[in-house]
Amino acid sequence: MIVFSLFIALVLERLRITPEGWQVNDAARRFDTWLSEHETYGKARGHATFGPFLLLLPAFLLAVLMLFNISGFAILLLNILVLTLAFNCRPYREALKRWYLATERDDTESQATARRELLPDDSALSLGQQLVWLNFRYFFAVIVWFILLGAPGVLGYIFLRANAERISRFMGWVDWLPVRIAGVAFLLVGHFSNALQPWLSSLKATPDNQDVLLSLAEAAEAFPGDSEEESAEPQAMLGLARRATIILLVAVAVATLMGWLV
């Protein structure tokens, strides 16, 4: 069921079958605001360590619901529903498409507009680095948590991801394991020898996960910095991220065939 749920959800996202407003980020942010301003929950939400756990209440309720004797078909529908919400990054996908088209026709104004939708002007990241990070947040990490905790884990990740700027320390622990798993995938689909030592070093400490992921991606891809094509770096980095996601899906499929996952 894990493989089938992932396959259907990815197809729905890729074909843009779901409505354009099929997103939960705004609702997740409003929920966090409501918790922070509530006279009962506000103090608990403000706790630096335990406060972010309140954002997992919807995931906990979903987990309780799935404990009841509901049919396998209903669970499948719930899986697909939650996964399509998690995978939905259509605004970024459309902005990237516009950026590529503007780059091909040398339309600098449209290119700059599309780039701002993908990457804030004050960001220190390159466009390729941002694409790797977005692919991780919207696909790779989602798949990892779905494998580990099912639909409730994905729903919890959605609510945490939407409020990541407010709970950056907590997200550091949430993303720690998926980032290291992504590093293994980069090793397998990129330059293994170049990325092995950085990946081993990432296990010894808990630095910023974004820095770890991007350093591993750059080591695995070994992109030449003197390329004159503006779209070369984003294409190379996004290609690496997509290959890493594909190998994760292949690993899930193999584990299912071996009977390790159901």
Residue-wise pLDDT tens digits, 223-250? 665 556 788 899 999 999 999 999 999 9
**Residue 63's pLDDT band (cuts 50, 70, 90):** very high
Give me the pLDDT at residue 225, please.
59
CB 258 within 8 A of CB 15: no
CB 152 within 8 A of CB 59: yes
Q: Which residues contact 105 (CB under 8 A, 6 or more apart)?
A: none
Instruction: Note the pTM of the prediction, 2 decimals.
Output: 0.94
Task: Parse the chain into domains and list their residue ranges.
Answer: 2-257
Give me the pLDDT at residue 226, please.
57
Give me the pLDDT at residue 72, please.
85
pLDDT above 90 coverage of the chain, percent: 71
